Amino acid sequence: MARVRVRPARADDLAGAAAVWHASEGHPGSAPPSPSATGWLRHVLATGRLVVAETDTGRVIGFAGARPEGALTALTDLFVHPGHQSSGVGGLLLDAVLPTHGPRATFASADRRALGLYLRRGLLARWPAFYLAAGRDAVRLPDRDLQTREVDMVESQFLVQGPADPGFWAEAGAIALEVRDRRRALGHAMLTWHSPEWLHQPELATILESSAVRGHAADVVIAVIRAMLARGAAGVALQVPGAHPALPILLGAGLRIAGVDILCATADCGVADPERTTVHGEPLPPI
């Protein structure tokens, strides 16, 4: 390995970290990192721990981030520039942000090296989470005769809005929707109208999180997607656990699998119910 140093990140490292993320995740021709990518990293820097790996010329070639969610440490990011992968940098970064004990969780990419690093550190592979996406014209969803209305973000008590996360998503333009039948609220969803982290389809609206009362998880997701399209969304993206009842319905309705992550969490880490909850790329806090 070339001489590499891992150190705490500073604000002036964020553009370099976003460039590593883009080089690792992007494809030729895809747009350069958006300002909102740096916004997320700035948020991790402010509310958790962000480290970078740099060469002896001072170039940032990797970064890792982790944030507290109550007792849980959530690994939010781990990326190494493609030109420097498989030479030990990822392991160094991971060990700089992830404690050796206590509840720890992350959504691992399907990268075998990432999985190998996490599983060897005691995280267990719990379930797959499918990233689904589609442009509006491809989606054909049944009408469930449910109402949606915008509600207050804070009162909706979303899982990703943990104590260390006040208002981040609201500031990023997210809104909350409540789904009701004629008698009661069936669930909530938090969504944004654009998805800068979807490098190829940033115009898609994203469901960041949804939760539902028992027996209505699919109804809630479907009603929210219908509401998003009715309000003019160019398309939708969301992450759905493998056991969630919306998954086969959405695949039958025109959404396509864009990727698969695996929720990895230590044995002492409770996670939200994957049959009733969807969470987009954020580890689930214990409940």
Name which position in 14, 37, 50, 108 contacts ligand COA (CB under 6 A): 108
In which residue are the tokens 């994957």 written? 274
86 lines the binding site for ligand COA (CB under 6 A)? yes
Go through 184-211 and write b for each residue having 16 or more CB atoms within 10 A of its CB, e for each that does not. Answer: ebbbbbbbbbbbbbbbeebbbbbbbbbb
Helix or strand or coil: residue 19?
Answer: helix
Q: Name the residue nearer to ligand COA (CB basis): 85 or 266.
A: 85
Q: Name the residue nearer to ligand COA (CB basis): 78 or 250.
A: 78
> 193-232: which residues touch ligand COA (CB under 6 A)?
none
264 lines the binding site for ligand COA (CB under 6 A)? no
Of 32-40, 89-97, 205-213, 270-278, which segment contacts ligand COA by CB under 6 A? 89-97
CB of 80 to ligand COA, least distance (A): 4
Of 109-117, 147-155, 186-194, 273-281, which segment contacts ligand COA by CB under 6 A? 109-117
Whole-angstrom Cα distance, residue 78 to residue 233? 30
88 lines the binding site for ligand COA (CB under 6 A)? yes
114 lines the binding site for ligand COA (CB under 6 A)? yes
26 lines the binding site for ligand COA (CB under 6 A)? no
113 lines the binding site for ligand COA (CB under 6 A)? yes
Q: What is the CA radius of gyration of the chain?
A: 19
Q: Which DSSP string corresponds to 140-202?
A: -------EEEEE-TGGG--TTS-TT-TTHHHHTT-EEEEEE-SSSEEEEEEEES--TTSTT-T
Give bridge partners of residue 256 from the DSSP assignment. Answer: 133
Site string for ligand COA, 6-25 (x = CB under 6 A): ------------------x-
Give bridge partners of residue 47 from the DSSP assignment. Answer: none
In which residue are the tokens 């494809």 written? 27
C-alpha distances out from residue 127 to 51, 69, 139, 162, 272, Å = 28, 20, 26, 22, 12
Of 87-95, 122-130, 173-181, 204-212, which segment contacts ligand COA by CB under 6 A? 87-95
36 lines the binding site for ligand COA (CB under 6 A)? no
111 lines the binding site for ligand COA (CB under 6 A)? yes
Whole-angstrom Cα distance, residue 200 to residue 202? 6
Query: How many of the chain's residues bind ligand COA (CB under 6 A)?
Result: 19
Q: Name the residue nearer to ligand COA (CB basis): 148 or 239.
A: 239
Spatial CA neighbour of 272 closest among 283, 264, 284? 284
Name which position in 30, 70, 87, 154 contacts ligand COA (CB under 6 A): 87
Name which position in 14, 78, 133, 246 contacts ligand COA (CB under 6 A): 78
**Contacts to ligand COA by CB under 6 A:** 24, 78-80, 85-91, 108-109, 111-114, 116-117
